Amino acid sequence: MGTMSELVQALEQVVGKAGLVLDPALMGSYLSDWRNAYRGRAALVVRPGSTEEVASVVRLCHDAGVALVPQGGNTGLCGGSIPDDSGQQVVLSLTRMTRIRNVDPANETITVEAGVILQHLQEAAAEAGRLFPLSLGAEGSCTVGGNLATNAGGTAVLRYGNMRDLTLGLEVVLPDGRIWNGLRGLRKDNTGYDLKHLFIGSEGTLGIITAAVLKLYPAIHSRTTAWVALPSPQAAVELIGRMRALCGDRLTGFELMSRQSVEFVLRHVAGCTDPFAEVHPWYVLIQLSDTLPDAPLAQMLENGLGSAFEAGEALDAVVASSEAQVDALWAIREGISEAQNHEGPSLKHDISVPVSCIPAFVEAADLRLQQAFPGVRIVAYGHVGDGNLHYNISKPTGSDDAPFKAQAEAIMGLIYDVTLEFDGSISAEHGIGQAKREAAHHYKAPLELELMRSLKQALDPTGLMNPGKVL
Ligand code: FAD
Ligand code: 2HG
Ligand code: ZN
C-alpha cells in the first residue's frame, strides 16, 4: 500500500492528466447530488476512457486499499454516487465512456458503453429504426451505467419492463480489476447462474459496469395521450384495468398524480398550465402507442374513457390533439420532481405495493400521517401500473425546516410501516444508496440481508467498492 500521491502518479500514467480532477474547486459537481441532499469529499475524481483503463484504475486502487465510488450522470436520488466525507475515497466517473459499440438490427440489440446518456441511446435506437423504451425525467443526463446499477424504472415499465428486463449482456470490471466479458446478446442462455442480474441493481457495490447489450423494440409510429381527472386512486386502478383489457400492450403509459403534485408544478414550472378549469383530486396521464402509423388509438381511447365516465371512474378528460400538447401534458408529469424542490426540504418514499393495494395504501398512509404530523403536504404520484408510488412529503406551508427535519425519521418509519403492511417494498426504483441503508436493515428479512452480505463478501472481499452504500 503506497501513499495517495503515489496512487495519483500511477493513475495519471493510465488516464493522463486530463482524466484526473485533483483540484477540490473543480470537483463540486461530483460531490453533491442535484437536490443537494448529499454532500461528500473525495481524494480525486478519475475519468477513464476505456474498459482497459477502468480495469487498471480499479486494480491500482485495490492494491492501494483505496475505496471507489462509481458515478454516471449523478442523477440518482439516494446518494449512491456521492462519496463519504473522509476525503479518502476516489470517484470513478464513467462519463468519458460514450461509445455506441454495435447495433445489430437482426438481433434487435444495441451494445453501448456505460457512460452513454440515456437520451443518446434512445436517439441511436431511433436512427436504426428501433425503440429503446426506458424513459425517465432525467434521461437527458443519466447514463446507461447508472440505469443498470439502479435497475431504473420510469414511465414505460408497465409495457416494457425496467432496466433489468431490457438487458441481455454486461461487461463488468470486478473489484480486483479483472474484466468479466458477459456481453452476450442472447435471449436464451441457461448455463448456470445468470451473473448479470447480480450487477444490475447493485448500485456500484459489486463492480464497475463498463458496457451492456440491450434489447431493441419496434419503433412507435402512432401515439395518443390523454389527461384524465379522477375521484380517487381506486378509480385509477379500475381505469388501468379497463384500458389494459381494451388496448393490451398498446397501453404504454399510465401515470397517477395527486392534485398537490400538480399544484406544485403549476406554481413552479414555467410554461405549465392546468389542462382543466376545475380542480380535481387526482389525475392520470394515459398514453397509447402502436407500431402502425394509422392505428385506431383515438377510437380506443374514446371507447375506454366513454365507459370510464359511465362507471364514474373519470370526471373529466382532454385528449392531446398535437405533438405540442402531448409534450405539454408530459411536462406537467415530469415537472413534479423539480417543482417539489422549490417547496423546501422533502422526504422521498419510492415505495411499491401490489397494484390492487394502492388505494388502501394511500388511504391508510394519508390518514395516519395527518393524525401524527398535521399539516405535512403529501405529494403522491407515480407509476401506478407498476404499483410504484412516489409518496413524497413536503413540510407544512410556511413552517421552518428544522422541526420538519427533526420529524423526518418518524415520518419515514410511519410510511414504511404502512408499506410493509401491504407486503410492499421501501424502494421500487431509486435504490438504497445511503438514503435507505438503515431502513433496508430494518425492513428487509434477516435471511435476505445475510445472503446479500455473502454475495458482497464473495465479489468484493476487501469492501472497497462503494462502501457505505446498500449494505
Ligand atoms: P448515478 O446517479 O451517477 O449513480 C447511481 C448509482 O449507480 C450509484 O450508486 C453509483 O455508484 C452507481 N453507478 C453509476 N454508474 C455505474 C457504473 N457504470 N457501474 C457501477 N455502478 C454505477 N429513476 C427511476 O428509476 N425512474 C424514474 O422515473 C426516475 N426519474 C427521475 C427524474 C429526475 C428528475 C431525477 C433527477 C432522477 C430520476 N430518477 C429516476 C433517478 C435517476 O435518474 C436514476 O436512478 C438513474 O438510473 C441514475 O443514473 P445516473 O447515471 O445518473 O447514475
Ligand atoms: C419520477 O417518477 C421519478 O418522476 C422521480 O422517479 C421521483 O423525485 C421523485 O421522487
Ligand atoms: Zn419514478
Q: Atom 6 (ligand 2): residue with closest C-alpha?
A: 154
Task: Quote the pLDDT of residue 436.
Answer: 96
pLDDT digits (tens, 9 = 90+) for 222-244: 999 999 999 999 999 999 999 99
Q: What atom in ligand 2 is closest to the CA of residue 333?
A: 4
pLDDT digits (tens, 9 = 90+) for 366-406: 999 999 999 999 999 999 999 999 999 999 999 999 999 99
The residue whose CB lies within 8 Å of the most ligand 1 atoms, and thus the one to mutate among 150, 202, 334, 346, is: 150
Name the residue with cell 470513478. 92
Candidates 236, 332, 249, 239; CA nearest to 297 is 249
Q: Quote the Cα angle for 80-86-87, to 5°.
A: 90
Grade residue 438 by pLDDT with cuts at 50, 70 and 90. Answer: very high
Q: List, in order of start, the domains of the chain with CATH numbers.
A: 4-93 (3.30.43.10), 100-218 (3.30.465.10), 222-337 (3.30.70.2190), 343-430 (3.30.70.2740)
Task: Quote the pLDDT of residue 23.
Answer: 94
Spatial distance between the Cα atoms of 334 and 290, rounded to a whole number of angstroms: 22
pLDDT above 70: residue 318: yes
- Is 345 touching ligand 2 by the criterion CB < 6 Å? no
φ/ψ of residue 207, rounded to 5: 165, 175
Task: Quote the pLDDT of residue 12.
Answer: 98
Q: What atom in ligand 2 is closest to the CA of residue 381?
A: 2
Q: Packing angle between helix 297-311 and helix 233-247, nearest 10 degrees? A: 140
For the segment 284-295, the average pLDDT, to the nearest whole number, is 97
Kindly report the pTM of this predicted structure: 0.97
- Is 174 touching ligand 1 by the criterion CB < 6 Å? no
CA–centroid distance, 428 to ligand 3, in Å, is 8
pLDDT above 70: residue 425: yes
pLDDT digits (tens, 9 = 90+) for 231-278: 999 999 999 999 999 999 999 999 999 999 999 999 999 999 999 999
For the segment 3-17, the average pLDDT, to the nearest whole number, is 96
Neighbours of 371 (CB within 10 A): 9
- Is 241 touching ligand 1 by the criterion CB < 6 Å? no
pLDDT above 80: residue 61: yes
Average pLDDT, the chain: 97
pLDDT above 90: residue 28: yes
Pull the grid cell for residue 266: 403549476
Q: What atom in ligand 2 is closest to the CA of residue 153?
A: 6
Grade residue 59 by pLDDT with cuts at 50, 70 and 90. Answer: very high
Q: Atom 27 (ligand 1): residue with closest C-alpha?
A: 154
Give the 3-state secondary structure of the chain.
CCCHHHHHHHHHHHHCHHHEECCHHHCHHHHECCCCCCECCCCEEECCCCHHHHHHHHHHHHHHCCCEEEECCCCCCCCCCCCCCCCCCEEEECCCCCCEEEEECCCCEEEEECCCEHHHHHHHHHHCCEECCCECCCCCCCEHHHHHHCCCCECCHHHHCCHHHHEEEEEEECCCCCEEEECCCCCCCCCCCCCHHHHCCCCCCCCEEEEEEEECEECCCEEEEEEEEECCHHHHHHHHHHHHHHHHHHEEEEEEEEHHHHHHHHHHCCCCCCCCCCCCCEEEEEEEEECCCCCCHHHHHHHHHHHHHHHCCCCEEEECCCHHHHHHHHHHHHCHHHHHHCCCCEECCEEECCHHHHHHHHHHHHHHHHHHCCCCEEEEEEEHHHCEEEEEEECCCCCCHHHHHHCHHHHHHHHHHHHHHCCCECCCCCCCCCCCHHHHHHHCCHHHHHHHHHHHHHHCCCCCECCCCCC
Q: Length of the chain, please?
A: 471
- Is 208 touching ligand 1 by the criterion CB < 6 Å? yes
Candidates 72, 209, 73, 223; CA nearest to 133 is 223
Task: Quote the pLDDT of residue 1.
Answer: 61
Percent of the chain with pLDDT over 90: 99
Percent of the chain with pLDDT over 70: 100
Q: Atom 5 (ligand 2): residue with closest C-alpha?
A: 337
CA–centroid distance, 74 to ligand 1, in Å, is 6
pLDDT above 80: residue 2: no
- Is 252 touching ligand 2 by the criterion CB < 6 Å? no
Q: What atom in ligand 2 is closest to the CA of residue 154?
A: 2
Spatial distance between the Cα atoms of 52 and 210, rounded to a whole number of angstroms: 10
> Residue 463: exposed, middle, or buried by beta-carbon count in 10 A (0-12, 13-18, 19+)?
middle
Neighbours of 367 (CB within 10 A): 11
pLDDT digits (tens, 9 = 90+) for 160-177: 999 999 999 999 999 999
Task: Quote the pLDDT of residue 220.
Answer: 98
